[in-house]
Structure 1
Amino acid sequence: MQTCIRSIGHFFVSLVRKRPDQLHGRKVLLLKGGGIFFVVVLLYVVFLWFTLPDISDPRSLLASQSTVIVDRNGVELYRLFVEQDRTYIPADRIPDTLEKAMVAIEDERFYERGCLDVRAIARVVLRFGHAGGGSTLTRQLARNALDLTQDNIYNRKLKELMLGCQMEHRFSKSDLLELYLNWIPFGRNAYGVEQASQTYFGVPAEGLTLAQSTVLASLPQRPSYYSPYGEHLFTKVSEEVQEDIRAERVTRANQLREEDVTIGLLGAAVGTGSTVLYVGGRTDQVLRNMEDQKLITEQERLAALAELEHMTFKPSRENIRAPHFVLWVRDQVEKLFAGTTEEGLLERGGLRIETTLNWEMQKIAEESVAFYREDILNRFGAQNIA
């Protein structure tokens, strides 16, 4: 560092010692060099600008939507998708509680800031770049939903900034939040709030309660880690802490050290006997943020906590229903699209295919076949009984 400073000092001393005509020539050279550098950077930015995707239709920026095959009464038989299971819903079907919960935990200044978050930039500068807070919702959209992950870090950061500014300028905050909530991954291959709500609770997103909304808002940060079906459903403490609680050496949750607590999706009561402590989870943080930001009242937070104590989740998705029939339907639709511009639409187009099957009657038929399976096998040698 000292050598570098000394070299810079020698450079400026040499400038001063030059004759006026030499000094003038050096200034002209520096100005020309700076001008060329500025033009190159400007051309590079313009080039990147023209490589950005068209955002005139924000829904086109999302990945494909799932196709659903249903029976004549609307009972879901099977879902087809390539990589992401998603069902797009408009903003008026997204509950207000979920929007508030997501903003409170992911980007509390979402409605205040513009293209550039000056406060976050200042925080980075003051802390010498070591901390700057999480990405804004718009930046997350630009980085992930717009598929910038394959670019090098410099291109990606610059594109994120340009795309973020472009989207902030073109769309309202409501539009951006709708796009974000339909894009974000919630784990178990469920993308967007509608599919997440169906996956974990078996209800449409518009029917979510405040407690259920806080669960979904808790997942995007670490979907696999906080999965309701994983080992981090509840907050846990170490065996040493358990013993300290039983011996009443620890009587308050704020006495616990961070390294002794493994935060889960839901809070948990730990300890036995006369000393039982409640240690909060990720959902508790969401609710606390919402109350601190005056998005909910204390009474609403406490009511949601009471519901979370008895929260249940939908069992893992059932296997394909009426498989022979459903796969036959899939083959027919694939043949219909084969060789046309719609080829591939089956897995990506968000289709709803209504069939003639009655699932309730199909179940009765399958139960009857299963009951007589052995007799049919012995009498007719039938192996593949559907």
Structure 2
Amino acid sequence: MSKLEFGPMPDAQGYFGEYGGQIIPPELQAVMNDIDKAYEEIRQMPEFQDELKTLFADYIGRPSALFHARRLSEKLGGAQIFLKREDLNHTGAHKVNHCLGEALLAKYMGKTKVIAETGAGQHGVALATACALVGIPCEIHMGQVDIEKEHPNVVKMKILGCTLIPVTRGTATLKDAVDSAFEEYLKDPQNYIYAIGSVVGPHPFPKMVRDFQSVIGEEAREQFLSRFGKLPDYLTACVGGGCNSIGLFTAFLNDEDVQMVGVEPAGKGLDTDQHSATLTLGKPGQIHGMKCYVLETEDGEPMPVHSIASGLDYPGVGPQHSYLKDLGRVQYATATDQECLDAYMMLSRVEGIIPALESSHAVAWAIRTAPTLSKDKTILINISGRGDKDADYVAELLKL
């Protein structure tokens, strides 16, 4: 199979091509460089890797299953659809992969508090879980709109012992939660650590989160080769900040024959201002300490964005995704709220698997695409989380 070659991602300054970096005050750059240095040292420690590997297996339940969605494939005709079942992880999503890594890193660094933001609540639940396991206090900032949409996850976070901070400013969603959490972190960056919930923010966070999430693609690659003697033809995953998708894509980047598609929220339509299609309609800019594609207003401010999926309504995106878009290595598509809802219900009723609304964007792309491909082609979807958290919200929308 044909191979591609890439340079370092990121480079020594934390850039993926022209994207990434540390667009932050010099004093904060020093703190970030300390985290980077500690991360590079600690990740090489056999005891850190052994503890993480054991927790991945015995606590999260890795490797996650690779499932052939035969009934969905038959219903759609065309390509065979496979699912990487991150929804079966402890806490119900991929987020626990990097949260365990970040909590362990905080413990090894001697930090006294872990701070984070959450959108759909999956990152918040996963981090609260990891901090309970490691024994470090945890503070989660969450937009009030998302608190109301994601009640089950809010309850779980409280049960797990985290301090939940409601954010009512701005649109009261993910971007505002990031702002609020970062402000709290800046009060004592020597003793606190900000456990960013995706492959975003200043260097080294896009690299660190990617590294912890890359287990998804490493497993999928090995599973597919072992069972079929070949790699999938297409990979697809939803993209908000982009950690579940970069986790799947990383192991396949050098495989030229594997096509990769990240699916962004088209919301109520790309012709409206109610979407979060950052890579599709945004342009290079700056947000939250990094350079990446950004959706901006005419005044150059981050645009208020929308998605039916709380975990995807972010006006920026991971710098590595921005770079991979420019290189043409990954294609970026969109799915509307309605397509997402339809995919959520179809996978639930045809395969008995209720996907998160976030993951349903990738399912929607596969539903659209599979019938256009021949039956010898394969599509692997990353089911990044389970849809229990969305069930009441979907039931209300669909009047079930």
TM-score by length of 2: 0.24
- Structure with higher strand content: 2
- Structure with higher helix content: 1
Larger Rg: 1
